[in-house]
């Protein structure tokens, strides 16, 4: 289908996706409960920094950081890998392939359509953060800070979604790629800033992480939300983030197209 056709179909797909997110709101609530690890980490790091700051982080800084992490996690998550794995295994992917719009657009619209529900969860957490640590540590202080933060959230979601598609597409080459997704998630927890601020890592390890995609899924949006960088540094990190978006996009589309050819051969 042409780009014009996709744009015409997109509002309908978003409406359907939003209706599904409303219908499955109970499942979403359970998912939100499963992402409370930042709150646990916040308590642990507050205890660690009780007597003295850890790096540049005191107790207030850890509260600000991990509440921002919890909020950003709600906005940048994607689950396409699990859905693709399930549909390949069940054979229901064939139904999507019969539609005129690429399944990748459908997966993306279903994910994006859940944003309003996730914002409902994230906004109160941000307000609590403002009340606890003050607006200067909880949210960006300049208009450019808000713009870069929103761009970083979009980039973080894009990397997460495209990585999901790439790993999910591997299920078209093997029985299941869920173990690959589990490995990716472990690396995400270690390298993204989800468990601790990347700044606390040794300089050599942090330099390596700066060139991996995981920090740009989570750490960068959180750092921009808490005003951790000046404008030149933020722009440099955003450039790296969107380079990863581009790279992940090429990888995901390539794997998907090659994998679908194998799926057609199987189905025939």
pLDDT in tens, 193-208: 999 999 999 999 999 9
Least confident of 9-18, 35-44, 58-67: 9-18
Rounded Cα distance, 195 and 126, in Å: 19
Q: What is the mean pLDDT of residues 233-241?
A: 95
Strand, helix or coil for residue 174: coil
Q: Is the pLDDT assigned to residue 47 strictly greater than 50? A: yes
pLDDT in tens, 79-122: 899 999 999 988 888 888 888 888 999 999 888 888 888 888 89
Predicted confidence band at 268 (pLDDT cuts at 50, 70, 90)? very low
- 62 versus 27: which is more confidently predicted? 62
Strand, helix or coil for residue 57: strand
Rounded Cα distance, 58 and 49, in Å: 6
pLDDT in tens, 12-36: 888 887 787 777 777 777 777 777 8
Distances (CA, A) of 174 to 55, 88, 191, 245: 44, 10, 27, 25
Predicted confidence band at 73 (pLDDT cuts at 50, 70, 90)? very high
- 266 versus 20: which is more confidently predicted? 20
Cβ atoms of 246 and 157 closer than 8 Å: no
CB burial readout 23-53, b (16+ within 10 A) else e: eeeeebeebbeeeeebeebbeebbeebeeee
What dihedral angle (degrees, nearest 10) is formed by the CA atoms of 170, 174, 177, 183? -100
Of the chain, the percentage scoring pLDDT greater than 90 comes to 57
For residue 31, what pLDDT is reported?
Answer: 72
Least confident of 5-14, 126-135, 136-145, 176-185: 5-14
Q: Long-range CB contacts (< 8 A, 24+ apart) of 171-174?
A: 171/84, 171/85, 171/88, 171/89, 171/259, 172/88, 172/258, 172/259, 172/260, 172/262, 172/263, 173/259, 173/262
Q: What single DSSP character describes residue 131?
A: H
Q: Is the pLDDT assigned to residue 243 strictly greater than 90? A: yes
Least confident of 27-31, 165-169, 203-207, 255-259: 27-31
DSSP structure string for 223-238: HHHTT-S-HHHHHHHH
For residue 233, what pLDDT is reported?
Answer: 94
Rounded Cα distance, 250 and 140, in Å: 32
Rounded Cα distance, 11 and 8, in Å: 7
Q: What is the mean pLDDT of residues 35-51?
A: 90
Cβ atoms of 164 and 232 closer than 8 Å: no
Q: For all residues of the chain together, what is the average pLDDT? A: 89
For residue 264, what pLDDT is reported?
Answer: 66
Stated pTM of the model: 0.91
């Amino acid at each position: 289908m042409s780009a014009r056709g996709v744009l015409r179909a997109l509002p309908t797909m978003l409406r359907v996706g939003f209706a599904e997110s409303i219908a499955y709101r109970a499942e979403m609530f359970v998912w939100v409960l499963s992402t409370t690890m930042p709150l646990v980490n916040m308590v642990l790091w507050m205890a660690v920094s009780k007597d003295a700051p850890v790096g540049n982080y005191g107790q207030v800084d850890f509260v600000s950081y991990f509440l921002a992490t919890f909020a950003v996690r709600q906005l940048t998550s994607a689950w396409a890998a699990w859905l693709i794995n399930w549909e390949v295994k069940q054979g229901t992917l064939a139904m999507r392939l019969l539609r005129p719009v690429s399944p990748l657009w459908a997966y993306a619209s279903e994910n994006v359509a859940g944003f309003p529900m996730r914002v409902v969860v994230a906004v109160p957490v941000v307000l609590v953060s403002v009340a606890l640590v003050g607006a200067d540590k909880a949210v960006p202080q300049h208009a450019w800070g808000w713009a870069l933060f929103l761009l970083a959230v979009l980039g973080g979601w894009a990397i997460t979604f495209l990585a999901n598609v790439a790993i999910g597409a591997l299920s078209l080459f093997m029985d299941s790629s869920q173990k690959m997704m589990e490995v990716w998630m472990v690396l995400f927890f270690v390298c993204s800033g989800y468990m601790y601020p990347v700044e606390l890592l040794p300089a050599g390890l942090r330099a390596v992480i700066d060139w991996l995609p995981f920090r740009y899924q989570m750490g960068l949006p959180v750092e921009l939300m808490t005003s951790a960088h000046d404008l030149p540094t933020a722009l440099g990190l955003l450039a790296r983030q969107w380079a990863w978006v581009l790279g992940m996009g090429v990888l995901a589309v390539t794997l998907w197209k090659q994998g679908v050819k194998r799926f057609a051969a199987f189905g025939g």
